[in-house]
Amino acid sequence: MAKQHRSVRQNQVASGNGRGVSYEQHESYDDSLLPEAAELARLKDIDPTIIDWIKARTEKEQDSRLDFNARKMDLIEASTNKAYRIDCLTSTYAFIIVIAGMFLSCFLIKEGQILTGTFFAGGTIIWAASLFLNFRKKQDEKKSPKS
């Protein structure tokens, strides 16, 4: 929270007579909670109790900003924890499905369905590999904006 200044200067050559034209832009903003000292002195001349009121309002504003930031951080932490739990559950269930698929293929092979069991096992392994390799890629594509 401070007073910030920014100055932009652009030089352009005007077509026609060849004389240069210069544009200069000044930008200033103050995000301080308290007015400047000169303004406080003028306000105190108008109302001697206004300084206490301004300080009280400034304290409330600062508390409000801190509370907003704390709530925002709580939301981000909760969202991150939820995403982590979902990732763990997804990985666990995918692993269980792969193991179940492999047991089913073993069962099919033991029952004499060698070709079916072999294709089922190969399909399960390929599906599992593509699932685990593309897991993060799909989630990152959802988050990134489309161009």
Tell me the per-residue pLDDT of 31-82, one tens digit each, with 9 for 90 and over. 666 778 888 888 888 888 888 888 898 899 889 989 999 999 999 999 999 9
Q: How far apart are CA 131 and CA 48, in angstroms?
A: 71
Give the start-end residues of each E strand in the chain.
Answer: 3-13, 20-30
Q: How far apart are CA 8 and CA 11, in angstroms?
A: 10
The 10 Å Cβ neighbour count of residue 31 is 8
pTM of the model: 0.51
Q: What is the pLDDT of residues 85-109, one digit of tens each?
A: 988 888 888 888 888 888 988 998 8
CA distances to 5, 8, 12, 22 from 25, in Å = 11, 5, 14, 10
